[in-house]
Amino acid sequence: MNKLKFSFTGLLTISLVAASMTVYSQQTELEEIIVTADPLGSVDDHFIQPTQVLDSEDLKRRSIQSIGETVSGELGVTSSDFGAGVGRPVIRGMGGGRVKVLENSISTMDASTISNDHAVTSEPVFAQQIEILRGPATLLYGSGASGGLVNVVSNRIPREVPDGIEGGAVIQYETVNEGFTGSGEFNGGSGGFALHLSGMKKDTKDYDIPGFADVHHGEEEEHNDEEEVKGILENSSTNTESITGGLSYINDTGSIGFSVSGLNSLYGIPGHGHHEEAEEHQDEEEEGGVTTDMEQIRYDFSASLNTPFNGIQEVKTRWGYNDYEHAEIEPSGEIGTRFSNEELEGRTEIIHDPIGNGHWDGALGVQINSRDFSAVGEEAFLPPAEQDAIAVFLVEKADFGQWHVDLGLRYEDQDSESITGDTASHGLISFGGGASYDYGDGYELGLSVGYSQRGPAIEELFSNGPHAATNSFEIGNIALGDESSTNIDLHWHKNEGRFTFQVNLFYNLIDDFIYLQEQDLNNDGFADRVEEDFSGDVSEILDPDEDEEPLLLFHTQNDAKFMGFELEGIINLLNSDNVKLDLRTWTDYVDARLKDGGGNLPRILPWRIGAGLDYQNGPWDLNLNLVHTAKQDETAALEEATPGYNMLNLYAAYNFDIGNSTITLFARGTNLLNEEARRHTSVVKDIAPLPGRSGIFGIRALF
């Protein structure tokens, strides 16, 4: 009730402030934003669905540790971190396969949706912009994106021919983990040809934390004997390097280009109990934890053709092929499990000329995906499996005076098969529409409604074994049906003047929501725990006191609902030729639970509220942010509450020119209050808090 009261109070406050500010608001010319994940992003500046774009200036102030960490803190967005090396976006309470992560509108094609301890292969250090889409707009990129999508836009395949040679380099040092990061980028072109080269090296040690890693440290006698080190998260180091080369040819007719990129990453998996070997194979002198050694080679191709024939404005195609592998290495140096993922994805979009008296712009497209996944080793809880999908989609947009209308439709055929011979086929349909009304000086009111179906992922269908990352024994179900999601988004925005704001209200009803459910097969009133060689026999279920053994989980279905709000207001306090000062305040909240009294869903983002100052004065750029994350006590069964915390961050930069180059000296302070912070969205929150107080110091050169 208090949160509901706060939401109405926030809406009322924004309304009153907007009314008062309108009296003296001045027109501000907005920078053109092209959302590349939208096939019509270059011809349309209306986005009915909630859309956030982080441009290159925004990204300079952000963490580059992982893509989840980069976007966390945006409205409705956080990260499901698993130590320093892993961070996947969570949008409006949904994560995993329900949130797609794209690289230039093609999937990252890694294994990050299979398990929480698998990293996303997209490196934000090279991003030119990052696009966050939620609601019905996501249906263009797959039935699985019911939660939203994050599209990382980079220059792997150059989209324009530079005038001469340009590029840049960044070097930074971070105190919390004694980490060095260096990256460089080069772009050149001549005669219609454009070349891109980039590389990155990141090396960090275990990071510092304010107290003990285990939230229960000292509560039990046996834990006291473990001699856990205070002030450091053991086995949280990372070592990552990447290199990319791309070439394209561009002229008035169109473009063609390709790129090759390689990524190697070695990162630790926090948690003293993760991937434990059997006692007879353990060496008492062994130290350290499990590390993940990841390798990826990715090939990308794109082409476009302008006005190939009458009625067609442009034809665009993008393809990616990925060869991914990672090995989970035990403290002994032996490989426990080896994961591999070979995947091909491509999409073609045909953009037609305006029709209907010039009102309607639209695109027709087809998308193909083929995936071959395997896991081999002691902890291969998922058998090798293949999944193929083909989809067609249509999107149309129109302007009628002050009204703007969006319509979209997608059909997808998905087939899955495991090495055991189990198969599943799903025909999935998604459609959505919305309308917005522009009034006054930059005010917009809009409503969008979408319906989408999601087919079960391969881990939901075929898993059958111990999953050490979550200390569970997962059993899939090939009989799982389609998820059916109905999304309703209502927004009220003001985009011009010295005061801007946005109010987003959302409701998402998901029929047959797929989730992991604890079991009580022996009817003793406790969640079942089993040995790693559990055969399914009820007599093999362990005593509930064996709480260090894997928890038995079934992939099951039930109806669920997600609802919440996102509020943001920005006031321009100072605005002259050289000085600009903005104040931003925001809050978001999501409530997610099973229908009909089924209880809360696990790992849901708690209520947050934040404020920030953005100051620019000549060569100086300063940014101060404070975010309060509330305690999450609306928990699922057997899930512990997570304390709230405050996160204070500071960014400062000084820019100057040397010849034709711009040099930036920058410093970033994170968690300046040195609070013990644990994200409720993380499955390892009880043993892996966020880093403590840190200073980041670096130099950036652009030429």
Helical H runs in 23-149? 56-60, 67-71
Residue 623: pLDDT band with limits 50, 70, 90? very high
In 269-359, beta strands by DSSP E: 291-306, 312-329, 335-355
> Which tokens sit at 87?
């961070």
Higher pLDDT: 296 or 440? It is 296
Sheet holding 99-103, edge to edge: 51-54, 129-133, 148-153, 99-103, 106-107
Which residues in 600-631 are b (16+ Cβ under 10 Å) and which e?
A: bbbbbbbbbbbebebbbeeeebbbbbbbebbe
Distances from the Cα of 4 to the Cαs of 9, 249, 253, 599, in angstroms?
A: 9, 55, 55, 19
Residue 228: pLDDT band with limits 50, 70, 90? confident
Question: Residue ranges per domain, the chain?
Answer: 2-702
Which of 350, 339, 310 is CA-nearest to residue 113?
Answer: 339
CB within 8 A of 23, min separation 6: which ones? none
pLDDT greater than 50 at residue 276? no
Task: State the pLDDT at residue 275.
Answer: 41
Residue 511: pLDDT band with limits 50, 70, 90? very high
Q: Indicate the pTM of the whole model.
A: 0.88
CB 506 within 8 A of CB 489: yes
Cα dihedral sign, 33-38-43-47: negative
The proportion of the chain whose per-residue pLDDT surpasses 90, expressed as a percent, equals: 59
Name, of 96-100, 102-106, 127-131, 567-571, the range with top average pLDDT: 567-571
Calpha distance 109→122 (Å, rounded):
10
Task: State the pLDDT at residue 44.
Answer: 52
CB atoms within 10 A of CB 698: 18
Residue 237: pLDDT band with limits 50, 70, 90? very high
CB atoms within 10 A of CB 507: 14
Amino acid making up residue 524: D
Name, of 33-37, 121-125, 204-208, the range with top average pLDDT: 204-208
Which of 380, 378, 369, 291 is CA-nearest to residue 340?
Answer: 380
In this structure, of 210-219, 418-427, 675-684, the range with the lowest mean pLDDT score is 210-219
pLDDT, tens digit, for every residue of 442-493?
899 999 998 989 999 898 999 988 877 677 889 999 999 999 999 899 999 9
Helix or strand (DSSP H, E) at 1 = none
> Which tokens sit at 161?
């021919």
Calpha distance 309→363 (Å, rounded):
15
Task: State the pLDDT at residue 265.
Answer: 94
Which of 244, 288, 235 is CA-nearest to residue 264?
Answer: 244
Name, of 124-128, 332-336, 613-617, 635-639, the range with top average pLDDT: 613-617
**Residues paired with residue 373 on neighbouring β-strands, in sequence order:** 341, 385
Calpha distance 140→696 (Å, rounded):
38
Residue 351: pLDDT band with limits 50, 70, 90? very high
Calpha distance 63→599 (Å, rounded):
35
Calpha distance 450→428 (Å, rounded):
14
Residue 178's region, left for phi above 0, alpha for psi from -120 to 50, else beta, is left
The proportion of the chain whose per-residue pLDDT surpasses 70, expressed as a percent, equals: 89
CB 83 within 8 A of CB 688: yes
Residue 26: pLDDT band with limits 50, 70, 90? very low
Task: State the pLDDT at residue 30.
Answer: 45
Task: State the pLDDT at residue 29.
Answer: 41
pLDDT, tens digit, for every residue of 357-388?
888 999 999 999 999 999 888 778 889 999 99
pLDDT, tens digit, for every residue of 515-545?
888 888 888 888 888 988 888 888 889 888 7
CATH fold for domain 2-702 = Maltoporin; Chain A (2.40.170)
pLDDT greater than 90 at residue 147? no
Residue 227: pLDDT band with limits 50, 70, 90? low
Average pLDDT of span 121-136: 85
Calpha distance 257→235 (Å, rounded):
40
Calpha distance 89→134 (Å, rounded):
12
Task: State the pLDDT at residue 107.
Answer: 92
Mean pLDDT taken over the chain: 87
Task: State the pLDDT at residue 225.
Answer: 47
> Which tokens sit at 402?
């002050």
Cα dihedral sign, 395-153-611-573: negative
CB within 8 A of 335, min separation 6: which ones? 327, 328, 329, 377
In total, the chain counts a number of residues equal to 703
> Which tokens sit at 108?
């990252």
pLDDT greater than 50 at residue 159? yes
Residue 76's region, left for phi above 0, alpha for psi from -120 to 50, else beta, is left
Higher pLDDT: 638 or 73? It is 73
pLDDT greater than 70 at residue 5? no
Higher pLDDT: 111 or 298? It is 298
Task: State the pLDDT at residue 11.
Answer: 38
pLDDT greater than 50 at residue 229? yes
Higher pLDDT: 597 or 687? It is 687
Radius of gyration (Cα) for the chain, nearest Å? 25
pLDDT greater than 90 at residue 48? no
CB 357 within 8 A of CB 398: no
pLDDT greater than 80 at residue 288? no
Task: State the pLDDT at residue 217.
Answer: 79
CB 694 within 8 A of CB 176: yes
CB 140 within 8 A of CB 365: yes
